[in-house]
Structure 1
């Protein structure tokens, strides 16, 4: 027999799983679409990481945006197992950034999304990817049957997660942009 506390915890984890999947899914869809729009320069972004053999750079640059969109859509549609490749991608991205930061190459663009908002590598981006990966863990747990209100709470929280991530990325990119640099040099 499930107690009220256990049912509440199961419901909370279910909402957290829905929120994480929707929020991270939207991040992936947005990033993938942005990369597709900038596919002319995205190969250079991948090459700048200096982690792949030269022959793999165009392959990764061509397939990664489609993979991100597919994983993102699957997460948003409630495909629980999509949290596995999404989490792995986030961990690979975090590791690639950390390796380059460790090499003293934090000046390169992260390639996280919008090319017009060039964003240099930072520990904050590594942390962001690790946090997003952790937010997917509840999505892997068995999900309880939801009432529509609980699903809507998960949808609202996932949308808020996406918007907060988008805002943080935009503000961080603008803080490193040419206008900020010009203002700081005065």
Structure 2
């Protein structure tokens, strides 16, 4: 049996990653591919429990290092129990966020070094990286409009951080994609979901 593929979708708040994950999964299933759609933090019962600790509105006490440790713990369980078994049986795994979000949010936004984040990832998840990372990039105005429509005044604890934090996150994603163009495909996410989906399929060399 051939190995499947592991595809991660990355980007800042309001990029439309969840929508694109769903559209990509639908397109793959139409082509007869087994697809597992998942998210981070989450994807397994243990990781979902950690998600509640990380994103709950009452979780204001986590510092960047504690966050990084919690994300790494959730990811370790996710990789071992869901991602690797699915890929090894030949399925495609489409994941809404992976380690590059930790690098951008706890690293670029929170001030930890990339080496620290990646050392936690090496310990917890054997350094697993996606076969391809789709970085969906949207302008700040577009992202703000989408978030207002989606969340109103109820953004989660990380999504509700100040604009300068999210600017550092965006700059970090830009650095990662520029430094590793073989793993990252940059997707213009300012258009309609259908327009962005077409760009995603092109990046994966999958026709309409």
Q: Same fold (TM over 0.5)?
A: no
TM-score (norm 2): 0.30
Q: Rg larger in 1 or in 2? A: 1
TM-score (norm 1): 0.33
Structure with more relative contact order (C-alpha pairs < 8 Å, separation 6 or more): 1
Is the strand fraction higher in 1 or 2? Answer: 2
